[in-house]
Amino acid sequence: MKTFRCVCGNRLYFENTDCLQCGRKLGFLPGPLALAALEPAGKDRWTVLTPPDQGPHRFCRNSGDLDGCNWMIPVDEPEPYCLACRLNQVIPNLSKPGNRSLWIRIEKRKRRLVYDLRRLALPVIPKRSPEDEAGLAFAFLEDDPGELEFSDAHQSNHILTGHAHGLITINIAEADDLERERRRHELNEQQRTLLGHFRHESGHYYWDRLVAGGPLQDRIRAVFGDEREDYGEALSRYYRDGPRPDWQDGHVSAYASAHPWEDWAECWAHWLQITDTLETSVAIGLAAAEVLDGDVDERISHWVDLALKINLINRSLDQPDPYPFVLTTPVIDKLRLVEEVIRNSAFSP
Query: Which residue, 24 or 209, is less far from Zn ion as judged by CB?
Result: 24
Is 252 a binder of Zn ion (CB under 5 A)? no
Q: Give the shortest CB-326-to-Zn ion separation in angstroms.
A: 21
**Count H helices, E strands: the chain?**
9, 11
Scanning 9-17, 214-222, 289-297, 340-348 for contacts with Zn ion by CB under 5 A, the matching segment is 9-17
Residue 248 binding Zn ion, by CB under 5 A: no
Closest CB to Zn ion among residues 265, 274: 265
Smaller CB distance to Zn ion: residue 35 or 69?
69
d(CA 310, CA 330): 23
CA distance 206 to 270: 14
Shortest Å distance, C-beta 61 to Zn ion: 7
* Chain CA centroid to CA 281, Å: 18
Regarding 73 and contact with Zn ion (CB under 5 A), the answer is: no
Q: Is 83 in the site for Zn ion (CB under 5 A)?
A: no
Sequential DSSP letters for 199-231: HHHHHHHHIIIIITTSTTHHHHHHHH--TTS-H
Q: Residues 20 to 39: which contact Zn ion by CB under 5 A? A: 21-22, 24
Using the contact rule CB under 5 A, the part of the chain among 52-60, 139-147, 219-227, 330-338 near Zn ion is: 52-60
- 19/225 Cα distance (integer angstroms): 50
Asked if 10 is part of the footprint of Zn ion (rule: CB under 5 A), the reply reads: yes
Cα 125 from chain centroid?
15
Is position 267 an interface residue for Zn ion (rule: CB under 5 A)?
no
E strand residue ranges, the chain:
4-5, 11-12, 26-29, 34-40, 46-50, 57-59, 72-74, 88-90, 137-141, 162-164, 167-171
Which of the residues 273 through 292 are near Zn ion (CB under 5 A)? none
3 state DSSP class of 49: strand
Q: How many CB atoms lie within 10 A of CB 240?
A: 7
Quick one: 195 or 292, whose CB is closer to Zn ion? 195
Only segment of 28-36, 59-67, 93-101, 339-347 that touches Zn ion (CB under 5 A) = 59-67
Strands 72-74 and 57-59: antiparallel
126 Cβ neighbours under 8 A, 6+ residues apart: 86, 87, 135, 136, 137
CB 5, min distance to Zn ion, A: 8
Q: How far is the CB of 347 from Zn ion (least distance, A)?
A: 27
Is 71 among the residues that bind Zn ion (CB under 5 A)? yes
Per CB under 5 A, residues contacting Zn ion are: 6, 8, 10, 19, 21-22, 24, 60, 62, 69, 71, 82, 85, 262, 265
